[in-house]
Homo-oligomer: A and B are copies of this chain.
Amino acid sequence: MVGMTVIQTPADWRTDQDPGGLVQRYDDVRGHTERLAAPLSPEDQTVQSMADVSPTKWHRAHVTWFFETFLLAEHESGFAPFQDQYWFLFNSYYETLGPRYSRPDRGLITRPGVHEVGDYRANVDDRVRDLIARLDDGTLAALAPTIELGFHHEQQHQELLLMDIKHVLSRNPLQPVYAGAPPPRSEPDALGWVDVEGGLVEIGHDPTTQGFCFDNELPRHRQWLEPYRLADRLVTNGEWLAFVADGGYRRHELWLSDGWSRVNAEGWTAPLYWSEVDGVWFEHTLHGTWPVDPGAPVCHVSFYEAEAFATWAGKRLPSEGEWEHAVVSTGLSSTGAPAGGAYHPRAAGPATGGLRQVHGECWEWTSSAYHPYPGFHPPPGAIGEYNGKFMSNQMVLRGGCALTSPGHARTTYRNFFPHAARWALSGVRLADGGAPR
């Protein structure tokens, strides 16, 4: 393991440094992954339905590899890898760590099977707990950011695991179900607007709060915003059905040129996972296939669709700065309360005068390209590849979704996907105003 670089973290990353508390959180996060995988058979956990998707057992192994590589390999005395080839098989994209197994071929690896992956997880868990127990306070303080990053990394993969298996199951004409019944059907709700003053505002993670953030949320910086307003809830399926009925997917003038090419090349006529049977639209969910619920937020739309819908509605998408400033300035807590038990976005609750559905339903497309904040520098070493190298050809999404793990969402959190991606649980919040006076 020569040449491994210690993770450098920004000065403002702080984390729990109590060994007992750390182990407790470790067990919570790790256990959550296993609970999510539990309903899935070995066959389910093996398949990769497209290049963007990874098999469940690959997720389970990769997050384990992350702890083994960035924590144990650096700090365990007498470290030896659990299995030499796992180093190669379960590296996701870290060029710094040498050659790795081809991403689009992850679904070809039948072994290790789900049980051997379980053994791998158990082995690393024991060794991590053991390492934490042995560390002196100073070393623990130095390693805590790496462990904390491992938690958030695993939570990201928990969300991906669910998005990915949703896609896998969607390819099966037998319409398999991951979990029990979906949220109850709902009634459409009037759309309200929240006005925001704007001005010279600060965007990005606030170091004085001392909470965790990814490097791409830094540095905090100033940005000028003209007055604007945001919709107080997400666009609903009912509204999307009106867009479809009005020829939304057939009118070129609503679309960006690249989006229109996709519509035609891939035959889009509705969000991913929608299908029409005898004039009724159905939606594949992790709870089975059900008629589309008009009151629930539309999800699994691409940036192109979100943008075309906004054009059709005579509105626009918010910038990520507008989104973040609106959430902060209207006094919402920085971490939302994700859905309990349901793996699908729910209809908005009653109007509050403020923003609804900020965290916990759908990731919200913004009009902002995923670019570095002014002054951004990735940390040195392999961990510098975590976020920075992906800052092109993608758009920022904000908020969180029904599949986001508890405690993972954050107001300054910058999620990102390519313009045409639809398998993420992505939705739309409209914006208006913001133009020069």
The reply on A163 being an interface residue by CB < 8 A is no
B393–A419 touching, CB < 8 Å? yes
Instruction: Quote the shortest CB–CB distance from A226 to chain B (angstroms).
Output: 6
A252–B95 touching, CB < 8 Å? yes
Which listed residue, B85, B174, B224, touches A85 by the CB 8 Å rule? B174
The reply on A69 being an interface residue by CB < 8 A is no
Number of copies: 4
Residue of B nearest to A113 (CB): B43
A112–B174 touching, CB < 8 Å? yes
Please indicate which of the listed interface residues A46, A169, A220, A393 has the most CB atoms of chain B within 10 Å of its own CB: A393
A435: chain B residues within 8 A (beta carbon): 219, 221, 374-375
A389–B223 touching, CB < 8 Å? no
With contacts A256-B392, A435-B219, A436-B374 taken as known, whether A108 is within 8 angstroms of B172 at the C-beta atoms is yes
A47–B44 touching, CB < 8 Å? no
Complex Cα spacing A47 to B105, Å: 11
Please indicate which of the listed interface residues A110, A173, A374, A390 has the most CB atoms of chain B within 10 Å of its own CB: A110
A95: chain B residues within 8 A (beta carbon): 252-253, 260
Within 8 A of B (CB), among A173-230: 173-174, 176, 200, 219-224, 226
Map CB proximity to B onto A224-242 as digits: 1 under 8 Å, 0 otherwise: 1010000000000000000
Instruction: Quote the shortest CB–CB distance from A336 to chain B (angstroms).
Output: 27
Residue of B nearest to A114 (CB): B43
Within 8 A of B (CB), among A73-130: 85, 88-89, 93, 95-96, 101, 105, 107-114
The reply on A269 being an interface residue by CB < 8 A is no
With contacts A46-B47, A49-B108 taken as known, whether A224 is within 8 angstroms of B223 at the C-beta atoms is yes
With contacts A220-B436, A221-B226 taken as known, whether A108 is within 8 angstroms of B174 at the C-beta atoms is no
Instruction: Quote the shortest CB–CB distance from A38 to chain B (angstroms).
Output: 15
A169–B393 touching, CB < 8 Å? no
A169: chain B residues within 8 A (beta carbon): 110
The reply on A343 being an interface residue by CB < 8 A is no
User: How many chain A residues have a CB neighbour from B under 8 Å?
Assistant: 66
A45: chain B residues within 8 A (beta carbon): 43
Which listed residue, B41, B112, B171, B390, touches A256 by the CB 8 Å rule? B390
The reply on A255 being an interface residue by CB < 8 A is yes
A110: chain B residues within 8 A (beta carbon): 41, 43-44, 46-47, 168-169, 172, 176
Complex Cα spacing A110 to B436, Å: 49
The reply on A42 being an interface residue by CB < 8 A is yes
Within 8 A of B (CB), among A17-51: 41-47, 49
A107–B390 touching, CB < 8 Å? no
Chain A: residues with CB nearer than 8 A to chain B?
41-47, 49, 57, 85, 88-89, 93, 95-96, 101, 105, 107-114, 168-169, 171-174, 176, 200, 219-224, 226, 252-253, 255-260, 303-304, 307, 367, 369, 371, 374-375, 384, 389-393, 419, 434-436
> Can you name 23 A-B pairs with beta carbons within 8 Å?
A41-B110, A42-B42, A42-B43, A46-B46, A46-B110, A47-B110, A49-B108, A85-B173, A93-B257, A95-B253, A95-B260, A107-B107, A110-B168, A219-B436, A220-B436, A222-B436, A253-B384, A256-B389, A258-B393, A259-B392, A260-B389, A375-B436, A392-B419
